[in-house]
């Protein structure tokens, strides 16, 4: 099971407003509050409970899950997706080298940025 979100919380959206806790800003920004999000992987007997600082992006799910299932990603498709299956399964603490973040009026490239995911075995 994988549980995640699309971006950080809306900070001002009527009854649906959220909080990014200690992180700056929220959805629609390139700040940590808009791009750092929950990512929980659970696979009893395969993924041990723990935390990881491996940097990954949702686009990496395509190549990673294709590798897990033995599916072939068509040539030229999903060029930005990286196979980070070892990081998803907790076998490696290494993810991608960088990730491009985009918000309204601001873009950023993050390198070596800790992005924790929680595994619930």
Question: pLDDT tens digits for 56-76?
Answer: 888 999 999 999 999 999 999
Task: For residue range 6-27, list pLDDT tens digits in order.
Answer: 777 777 766 666 777 777 777 7
**The token pair that represents 94 in the structure block:** 């290494």
DSSP track, 9-56: --SS-GGG----TTSS--TTSSSHHHH---EEE--TTTS-SEEE----
Instruction: Determine the average pLDDT of the residues in 81-86.
Output: 96
Give tens-digit pLDDT for 29-58.
767 777 777 788 999 999 988 888 888 888
Six-digit token pair at 10? Answer: 């809306």
Say which range, 53-67, 81-95, 98-112, has the weakest mean pLDDT: 98-112
Per-residue pLDDT band at 119 (split at 50, 70, 90): very low
Locate 23 and state its tokens: 């992180």
Q: Which residue has the higher pLDDT, 113 or 105?
A: 105
pLDDT at 85 over 90: yes
Whole-number pLDDT of residue 57: 86
Element (H, E) at 60: helix 60-69
Annotated domain spans of the chain: 2-119
Q: What is the chain's alpha carbon radius of gyration, rounded to the nearest angstrom? A: 15
Q: Residue 61: count other Cβ atoms within 10 Å of its Cβ.
A: 19
């Amino acid at each position: 099971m994988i549980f995640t979100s699309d971006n950080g919380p809306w900070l001002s959206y009527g009854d649906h407003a959220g909080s990014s806790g200690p992180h700056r800003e929220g959805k629609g920004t390139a700040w940590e509050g808009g791009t750092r999000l929950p990512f929980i992987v659970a696979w009893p007997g395969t993924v041990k409970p723990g935390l990881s600082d491996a940097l990954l992006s949702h686009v990496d799910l395509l190549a990673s899950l294709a590798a897990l299932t033995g599916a072939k990603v068509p040539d030229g498709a999903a060029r930005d997706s990286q196979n980070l299956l070892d990081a998803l399964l907790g076998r490696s603490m290494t993810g991608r080298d960088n990730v491009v973040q985009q918000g309204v009026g601001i873009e950023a490239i993050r390198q070596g940025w800790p992005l924790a995911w929680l595994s619930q075995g």
